[in-house]
Amino acid sequence: MSSEPVSRSRRAPRRGASSRADAVRRSFDSAKAALADSNLRDVHLSAPTLRWGLLAVAAGAVVAALVTLFVTGFDNEKGLEAHNPGSPLQPVLDKEFGTAAKGDCLSWTKPDRSDLVKVNCSSKHMFEVAADIDMSRYPGKEFGPGSRFPDSLRLTELKEEHCVPAVQKYMSGRFDPRGKYIVGLMYPSPDGWRHGDRTLRCGLQVAASVGTPPSVGSATEHDQSRVYEAGVCLGINQNLPTDPVDCAQPHAVEIVSTVDLGPHFTGGPPPKEEQDKFVEEECTRTSTDYLGGPDVIRNKTLTLFFDYIDARSWMAGSRKLDCMIGKGADQEGFAPITGSAKGDILINGQAPVPPPNNGRSTPVPLPGAAPLPPQPRPR
C-alpha cells in the first residue's frame, strides 16, 4: 500500500482562496512597513503590529509547500509492497492494510512502510482510518480489471473527492482545517492494484512539513489545536517556520507557552479583538516567567507573536494558541536564530544589541558630519 498525505489548508479549501491571499498580502504589507522603519528595527515591536503579516505569510508558504509535496507523492515508484520473508522476491497483498477499517490506527517504522501494522489508537500511530472506499464498485472502466494504476495527480483528485468529505463525516463535521491534523490517503501498491485491490483508505495524520509525526489517541477525542510544548523551537526554511528542531539549530520561533481560551470564552467564537487582548496579556505574562524577566525580549530585540482562532476552527473545538518569540526579517518572514532565548542567542549570526532605554535608536553620525548651519526663514 502507499500513502498520499493530503493537501493541508489553513482555510476552507479553494473557495475564498484569492480573497484570503489578498488579506495575507495586506497584512504582510503592514508588517513590512513597520519593519522598514529604521526607528523600529532594533526595538521590541508589539505583537499586533507584526504577527498577522508574518504568521499569515508563514502559514501560506507552508501550505504551498505541503500542497506541492502532496501532489508530487512519493519517490518510490514501486509503491509499498509487503513481502513474504520466505520468498522475498514475491510480493503479496498486505493483510494489515487490506483489513484496515474505519476507526483503526496504523503505524510503521520503515521509510517504505513495508512493516505497517494495526495498533491500538491509544498507542503511537501514524494514520487513523476514517473510511475505506472500494473504488471497484464505481461505474466505468477506470477502476475495473486490468485498469491502469492512477498517477499521483489522480490520487490527489481522489483524495479531494472522497477523503475530505469522509474525514468530515468521521469527525462529525468538526474537523479543523487549521489544526494539527491533515486529511490523508493510503492506496494499494501497484502490485496490489494488479491483484485487483481497489480500496482507498482515507484518514487523518499529524501535519508536518516533512515526514509523518506520530500521534497518540484518536483524533475524534482531541482538541485539534496545533500547539507545541514550551521550549520547542520551529526550524526555518526560506525565512519561514517549519517543524520542531533543536534550539541550537537555526530556527524561526521559540515556543514560550500555550494559552487555553476555553475557560475564558465559554460561548461562541470570540471576536478577534477580544482574543487579542486576552492572549497578549497571557503571552506577556508567560513570556516573562519563561525568560526570567520582563526586559529579556526587548534586550534581545525579539518580538512576541501569537495567532488567533477563527470561527471555523472554534466550531471544530480548537481552543489553544501558542505564544512564540522570534525576530522579523527586514524583507519578509523571520530571521534565523540560534540558541534558546533563555540563554545567549545569535540573530543572523550576530549577537543582538539591546536598544537604548528610550526605545529608539539614534543613527551614528558619519565621520566629519556636522549639523547644518541655521537656515534663513522664508519671507
Q: What is the 3-state secondary structure (H, E, C) of the chain?
A: CEEEECCCCCCCCCCCHHHHHHHHHHHHHHHHHHHHCCCCCCCCCCHHHHHHHHHHHHHHHHHHHHHHHHHHCCCCCCCCCEEECCEEEEEECCHHHHCCCCCCEEECCCCCCCCCEEECCCCEECEEEEEEEEHHHCCCCCCCCCCCCCCHHHHHHHHHHHHHHHHHHHCCCCCCCCCCEEEEEEECCHHHHHCCCCEEEEEEEECCCCCCCCEECCHHHCCCCCCCCCCCEEEEECCEEEEEECCCCCEEEEEEEEEECCCCCCCCCCCHHHHHHHHHHHHHHHHHHHHCCCCHHHHCCCEEECCCCCHHHHHCCCCEEEEEEECECCCCCECCEECCCCCCCEECCECCCCCCCCCCCCCCCCCCCCCCCCCCCCC
User: How does pLDDT run across 267-320, given as a tens digit for each residue?
Assistant: 999 999 999 999 999 999 999 999 999 999 999 999 999 999 999 999 999 999
Comparing 32 with 296, the larger pLDDT belongs to 296
The three grid cell numbers given for residue 144, joined into one nine-digit string: 475495473
How far is 305 from 326, CA to CA, in rounded Å? 7
pLDDT confidence tier of residue 7, bands split at 50, 70 and 90: very low
Per-residue confidence (pLDDT) for residue 87, from 0 to 100? 27
Mean pLDDT across the chain: 76
Query: For the ranges 131-140, 242-251, 256-265, which has the lowest average pLDDT?
Result: 131-140
Q: Are 198 and 149 in contact (CB under 8 A)?
A: no
Closest CA relative to residue 189, chosen from 92, 63, 254: 92
Q: Which residues pair with 378 in a beta bridge?
A: none
Beta strands 181-187 and 2-5 are antiparallel
φ, ψ of residue 73 in degrees (nearest 5):
80, -155
> Do the beta carbons of residue 316 and residue 174 sit within 8 Å?
yes
Predicted local distance difference test score (pLDDT) of residue 4: 54
Give the cell for residue 323: 505564544
- Cα-trace Rg, the chain: 25
Condensed to tens digits (0 to 9), the pLDDT of residues 153-178 reads 999 999 999 999 999 999 999 999 99
Contacts of 266 (CB under 8 A, 6+ apart): none
User: CA 165: distance to chain centroid?
Assistant: 21
Report CA-CA distances (Å) from 337 to 192, 227, 350: 47, 20, 9
pLDDT digits (tens, 9 = 90+) for 183-234: 999 988 888 888 888 999 999 999 998 888 999 999 999 889 999 999 999 9
User: At residue 345, what are phi and psi to the nearest 5 degrees?
Assistant: -130, 160
**pLDDT tens-place string over residues 310-352:** 999 999 999 999 999 999 987 789 999 999 999 999 999 999 9
Q: What is the pTM of this model?
A: 0.70
* Angstrom distances, CA of residue 68 to CA of 24, 201, 304: 20, 21, 30
Using CA atoms in the order 47, 52, 58, 59, what is the torsion angle rounded to 10 degrees?
130
Q: Is the pLDDT of residue 182 over 50?
A: yes
Burial of 126 (0-12, 13-18, 19+ CB in 10 A): buried
Closest of 220, 259, 208, 254 to residue 234, by C-alpha? 254
C-alpha 270, offset from chain centre = 23
